[in-house]
Amino acid sequence: EAQVTQNPRYLITVTGKKLTVTCSQNMNHEYMSWYRQDPGLGLRQIYYSMNVEVTDKGDVPEGYKVSRKEKRNFPLILESPSPNQTSLYFCASSLSISRQPQHFGDGTRLSIL
Amino acid sequence: RKEVEQDPGPFNVPEGATVAFNCTYSNSASQSFFWYRQDCRKEPKLLMSVYSSGNEDGRFTAQLNRASQYISLLIRDSKLSDSATYLCVVNMDSAGSYIPTFGRGTSLIVHP
């Protein structure tokens, strides 16, 4: 089944404790992206990747890192999480972002205390 | 300046009603357009792509007006299960890259 898989689905952690949210897609998509969604603000792009080893900042990259060493994986890293990074996070992928829609993972709900 | 604008609603309609949403975008070089549906606390799911000639999928019709820079979604014969937030997405040309830009969504509530 074609899908985007995020892990974990839920995480409660404390300020400053490094964490990684994994994202994997099995559709051989070139484009992958991370979003956060907050009430009243909609979906905001954090980082995106056009292909392996090609990543770029989205609208709200501060406090986040990403890597794209393999086509299927695009982890999101919070080196020193802070409470303002408490949010609902979505990973998405697309065959070709110029023409094709994105497919979203189920989401990761992060709470930083 | 928000590049993709939607009326947040909520649109509160009875079952069987026809309802329409619009979404305006600012970048005339925008390349592709989509409507997504999002249920509370769930991931956005693609509802339909929007083509220049307009397209229909069952009770749903999407249209694109490039001259006026808006897309629309029409839902006929609304069902209770249509209650959700509808997001428009515009993939905008940004110096050769395409940046997907989301509207903040329009909330639809269909009541008995």
The whole-angstrom separation of Cα A100 and Cα A83 is 34
For A58-84, the DSSP string reads -S--TT-EE--SSSSB--EEESS--GG
pLDDT of amino acid A2: 79
How would you write the pLDDT of chain B (112 residues) with one tens digit per residue? 568 999 999 999 999 999 999 999 988 888 889 999 999 989 999 999 998 888 999 999 999 999 999 999 999 999 999 999 999 999 887 776 778 889 999 999 999 9
CA distances from A63 to A18, B10, B87 (A): 11, 33, 26
Interface test with B, best of A31, A91, A104, A109 (most B CBs within 10 A): A104
Nearest neighbour of B44 by CB, restricted to A40, A50, A104:
A104
Q: How far apart are the first and last CA of chain B?
A: 38
Residues 29-88 on B with a CB inside 8 Å of A are 31-32, 34, 36, 41-46, 49, 87
Q: For residue A104, which phi and psi values (nearest 5 degrees)?
A: -105, 145
pLDDT of amino acid B31: 80
pLDDT < 50: residue spans in chain A: none
Which residue in B41, B52, B50 sits closest to B90, CA to CA?
B50
